[in-house]
Amino acid sequence: MLKQYILVGSDEVNKGQLYDIKETIVHPLYNKITKHNNDVLVIMLSKPLQFSDRVQPIQMAPRNLALNSGDMLMTMGFGRTEELDISPILLSVKVPYVTNKDCYEIFTNGYRSLITENMMCAGVEGKDSCKGDSGGPLVHNNLLVGIVSFGYDLCGTHPGVYTRVSAVRDFIDTTMDKLNNMYE
């Protein structure tokens, strides 16, 4: 099995600090066959992060967070660009929030049936997360509101689909509490 790690403290893939992953806990209702619904896991690192000006925690969206169509969000990642399979530098893009109703109307193909209330959409033509960005953040006013889940095969032609953090907060909070109690 390949060793898994995360990169922190850099916006370049060849810099920063690598932290080994000690454990991952997948949402109990995530199903690899139906995919995407409850597409979230909690990662336990082998040692605590060292916070600095480049490594900071982010607050998660409250359970009752309401967004309005067109609210500007930011997503980021090292995923595919037009020229490259992955980007050597961390890229970010501002994308508008798209309501689930509008997103459902935009996806007229098989993707439509995948979108649930545990998900949210964001993006406009030419601006989207892409392959390789999965697991990355979707941020609104310094709050983590979404996690990159999936998108249309041709990036930037449809909104990206994200796990709605407010919908999976109970799982995240409960799991983090259990892990903190186990490893104190």
Pairing of the two strands 137-140 and 72-77: antiparallel
Q: Domain of residue 27: give its range.
A: 5-56+168-182
Secondary structure of the chain as H, E, C letters: CCCCEEEECCCECCCCEEEEEEEEEECCCCCCCCCCCCCCEEEEECCCCCCCCCCCCCEECCCCCCCCCCCEEEEEECCCCCCCCCCCECEEEEEEEECHHHHHHHCCCHHHHHCCCCEEEECECCECCCCCCCCCEEEECCEEEEEEEECCCCCCCCCEEEEEHHHHHHHHHHHHHHHHHHCC
pLDDT at res. 183? 65
CATH number reported for the structural domain that contains residue 33 in this entry: 2.40.10.10
- Residue whose structure tokens are 């969000």: 73
Q: Are residues 79 and 17 in the same domain?
A: no
Q: Are residues 63 and 150 in the same domain?
A: yes
Q: Are residues 151 and 134 in the same domain?
A: yes
Q: Are residues 115 and 134 in the same domain?
A: yes
Q: Are residues 10 and 74 in the same domain?
A: no
Do 117 and 166 form a contact (C-beta atoms < 8 A)? no
What pTM does this model have?
A: 0.89
| The two three-digit tokens of residue 175, written as one number | 């799991």
Q: Are residues 63 and 52 in the same domain?
A: no
**Segment-wise mean pLDDT, segments of 10 residues, the chain, 184 residues:** 82 89 92 82 92 93 92 90 76 92 81 82 82 87 94 76 94 92 71
pLDDT at res. 26? 94
